[in-house]
Amino acid sequence: MADGSAYKSKLSDEQYEVLFNKATEAPFSGEYDQQFAAGEYACAACGAVLFESGTKFDAHCGWPSFYDARPGTVLFDDDATHGMRRTEVTCATCGGHLGHVFEGEGLGVPTDQRYCINSLSLQFIPQK
Protein backbone atom coordinates (compact mmCIF):
# COMPACT_ATOMS: atom_id res chain seq x y z
CA MET A 1 0.00 0.00 0.00
CA ALA A 2 1.16 3.53 -0.77
CA ASP A 3 2.51 5.60 2.11
CA GLY A 4 0.78 8.85 1.19
CA SER A 5 2.70 10.99 3.67
CA ALA A 6 3.70 13.39 0.88
CA TYR A 7 -0.01 14.18 0.33
CA LYS A 8 -1.28 14.24 3.93
CA SER A 9 -1.20 18.04 4.32
CA LYS A 10 -3.11 18.50 1.04
CA LEU A 11 -5.96 16.12 1.90
CA SER A 12 -8.78 16.16 4.42
CA ASP A 13 -8.65 13.43 7.07
CA GLU A 14 -11.47 11.61 5.25
CA GLN A 15 -9.68 11.79 1.90
CA TYR A 16 -6.47 10.48 3.43
CA GLU A 17 -8.34 7.56 5.04
CA VAL A 18 -9.87 6.56 1.70
CA LEU A 19 -6.78 7.05 -0.43
CA PHE A 20 -4.07 5.68 1.84
CA ASN A 21 -5.86 3.51 4.43
CA LYS A 22 -8.37 2.02 1.95
CA ALA A 23 -11.48 3.30 3.70
CA THR A 24 -14.80 3.57 1.83
CA GLU A 25 -17.14 6.53 2.00
CA ALA A 26 -20.79 5.85 2.80
CA PRO A 27 -22.95 5.17 -0.27
CA PHE A 28 -24.92 8.11 -1.66
CA SER A 29 -22.83 10.55 0.41
CA GLY A 30 -20.17 11.51 -2.10
CA GLU A 31 -19.96 14.85 -3.86
CA TYR A 32 -19.67 13.28 -7.33
CA ASP A 33 -22.22 10.44 -7.16
CA GLN A 34 -24.90 12.40 -9.04
CA GLN A 35 -22.69 14.91 -10.86
CA PHE A 36 -22.69 14.62 -14.65
CA ALA A 37 -21.06 17.88 -15.77
CA ALA A 38 -18.50 17.79 -18.58
CA GLY A 39 -14.89 17.55 -17.45
CA GLU A 40 -12.27 15.23 -16.04
CA TYR A 41 -11.85 13.43 -12.73
CA ALA A 42 -8.36 13.46 -11.26
CA CYS A 43 -6.78 11.81 -8.22
CA ALA A 44 -7.39 14.04 -5.20
CA ALA A 45 -3.87 13.30 -3.94
CA CYS A 46 -1.53 13.66 -6.91
CA GLY A 47 -3.75 15.31 -9.54
CA ALA A 48 -3.31 12.62 -12.23
CA VAL A 49 -6.34 12.65 -14.56
CA LEU A 50 -8.02 9.24 -14.29
CA PHE A 51 -11.52 9.39 -15.77
CA GLU A 52 -13.40 11.41 -18.40
CA SER A 53 -16.95 12.61 -17.71
CA GLY A 54 -18.09 10.93 -20.94
CA THR A 55 -17.47 7.52 -19.33
CA LYS A 56 -19.44 8.34 -16.16
CA PHE A 57 -22.86 6.78 -15.70
CA ASP A 58 -25.45 6.31 -12.97
CA ALA A 59 -25.15 2.72 -11.75
CA HIS A 60 -27.52 3.43 -8.83
CA CYS A 61 -24.92 2.02 -6.43
CA GLY A 62 -24.22 5.16 -4.39
CA TRP A 63 -20.73 5.90 -5.70
CA PRO A 64 -19.50 7.60 -8.88
CA SER A 65 -19.33 4.98 -11.62
CA PHE A 66 -17.31 4.99 -14.83
CA TYR A 67 -17.14 2.37 -17.57
CA ASP A 68 -13.49 3.06 -18.41
CA ALA A 69 -10.36 4.79 -17.11
CA ARG A 70 -7.78 6.73 -19.08
CA PRO A 71 -5.17 4.26 -20.37
CA GLY A 72 -2.25 3.71 -18.01
CA THR A 73 -3.67 5.78 -15.16
CA VAL A 74 -4.96 3.05 -12.84
CA LEU A 75 -3.65 -0.25 -11.53
CA PHE A 76 -5.55 -3.33 -10.41
CA ASP A 77 -4.97 -5.54 -7.37
CA ASP A 78 -6.79 -8.56 -5.97
CA ASP A 79 -8.76 -7.67 -2.85
CA ALA A 80 -9.97 -10.51 -0.62
CA THR A 81 -11.00 -8.35 2.35
CA HIS A 82 -14.43 -8.45 4.03
CA GLY A 83 -15.03 -12.02 2.85
CA MET A 84 -15.29 -10.94 -0.80
CA ARG A 85 -13.20 -11.34 -3.96
CA ARG A 86 -12.92 -7.97 -5.68
CA THR A 87 -10.53 -6.04 -7.88
CA GLU A 88 -9.17 -2.92 -6.22
CA VAL A 89 -8.42 0.14 -8.38
CA THR A 90 -5.47 2.35 -7.41
CA CYS A 91 -3.90 5.46 -8.90
CA ALA A 92 -0.89 4.45 -11.04
CA THR A 93 0.92 7.66 -10.08
CA CYS A 94 0.64 7.81 -6.27
CA GLY A 95 -0.80 4.40 -5.36
CA GLY A 96 -3.88 5.87 -3.69
CA HIS A 97 -6.94 3.62 -3.27
CA LEU A 98 -9.76 4.76 -5.55
CA GLY A 99 -12.35 1.99 -5.24
CA HIS A 100 -13.09 -1.24 -7.11
CA VAL A 101 -13.97 -2.40 -10.61
CA PHE A 102 -16.72 -4.93 -11.30
CA GLU A 103 -17.33 -6.75 -14.58
CA GLY A 104 -20.18 -8.55 -16.27
CA GLU A 105 -23.05 -6.85 -14.50
CA GLY A 106 -25.03 -6.24 -17.69
CA LEU A 107 -25.40 -2.50 -17.12
CA GLY A 108 -25.49 -1.69 -20.83
CA VAL A 109 -22.26 0.31 -20.92
CA PRO A 110 -19.68 -0.15 -23.69
CA THR A 111 -17.08 -2.04 -21.62
CA ASP A 112 -19.44 -3.99 -19.30
CA GLN A 113 -17.28 -2.67 -16.46
CA ARG A 114 -18.25 -0.52 -13.49
CA TYR A 115 -15.45 1.40 -11.84
CA CYS A 116 -17.04 2.09 -8.45
CA ILE A 117 -14.98 5.02 -7.16
CA ASN A 118 -15.03 7.00 -3.91
CA SER A 119 -15.81 10.69 -4.45
CA LEU A 120 -13.27 11.50 -1.74
CA SER A 121 -10.49 10.06 -3.90
CA LEU A 122 -11.33 12.39 -6.79
CA GLN A 123 -11.21 16.04 -7.75
CA PHE A 124 -13.36 17.29 -10.62
CA ILE A 125 -11.87 19.53 -13.31
CA PRO A 126 -14.68 21.22 -15.28
CA GLN A 127 -14.42 21.39 -19.05
CA LYS A 128 -13.41 24.85 -20.23
Active site residue 116: yes
Catalytic member of 43, 91, 94, 116: 116
Yes or no: say if 64 and 41 are a contact pair by the CB < 8 Å rule. Answer: yes
Q: Which residues of 97-128 are buried (b: 16+ CB within 10 A; e: fewer)?
A: bbbbbbeeeebebeeebbbbbbbbbbbbeeee
* CA dist., res. 51 & res. 66, Å (int): 7
Catalytic positions? 116
